[in-house]
Structure 1
Amino acid sequence: MSALYDIPLRTIDGSPTTLGEHSGKVLLVVNVASKCGQTPQYEGLERLQKRYADRGFTVLGVPCNQFAGQEPGTAEEIQTFCTTTYGVSFPLLEKTDVNGADRHPLYTELTKVADANGEAGDIGWNFEKFLLGTDGEVVGRFRTLTVPEAPEVTEAIEQHLPA
């Protein structure tokens, strides 16, 4: 099983968790923000959640305020915004640094993975997506401008769903 499963995380309400709680599922880990031009991607993320949840899939939102201060709210404000504005039903983690000196260990590992162009490294902006297979290994990296329901994303999800 993947070492990613053991990295300590916190849910948006501060409860301890790990990706291991989703073992056996396909995960789409996305750094999200409430005040970004890409924020409407929440709609596509929620549609993916609804379409594939009963087949062993979940989106995992990771609020991040590192890009132009576009996620300034408290945990409660973020949660309220996501549920009331976009009907988000997928889990959210606490606000997290994805780049820089305080980069969360989860993103230290995720950013080692290259995208379709062979580029690894820092997160470029909000709504960058990492697809993890049922074993917790990263099987895809999709940059910000790749929308959640793009064919390359949905095809990768469907390819890795549990049998």
Structure 2
Amino acid sequence: MYASTPDPQLSQRDAEFMALIPNAEPDRMFARYMVDNTTGEPAGVIVVETHQHLLYYTMPDNKAMRYGVALGNESFGWTGEAVVDHKAEWPAWNPPAEMIARWPQVHQTAGGWTNPLGARALYLFQNGKDTLYRIHGTNEPEKIGRSVSSGCIRMRNIDVIDLFNRVPVGTKVIVR
């Protein structure tokens, strides 16, 4: 087993917001670790293994950073390939009309610590079009390792900040 990596440097705003969000200690299976790259993908690719609830960011020297994730429940899960079109810190949340129809209690939320997208979001596009799926933080870290979302890939806030800092716009994302 590899040692967990240190947490990324947080801005004052990050530290203030994150102090307000519940912090669940992850099951060791879903903690952040540097591991051998077993994805078969070259360095610089994000791979989400949905059956394992794990996300890998492949790195040089056949290594990968592994993170635990929460995924879409069976009826809302998504698989395929995309690219990170853009990234945002403490993004605003604009739920799609289909989600509002299913759950009328949801509503648009400004960026900040109460936002369901958490500390960071990576916006996934296919062929120049928004998939409406994101890799993002969460204000429900206790759900990492489960299939509970409406399709997005949720990460602990400290982990999505780490991934956000590593990943450039244009990064290939494979969800399988």
Q: TM-score, normalised by structure 1?
A: 0.29
Larger radius of gyration: 2
- The structure with the largest helix share of the pair is 1
Q: TM-score, normalised by structure 2?
A: 0.28
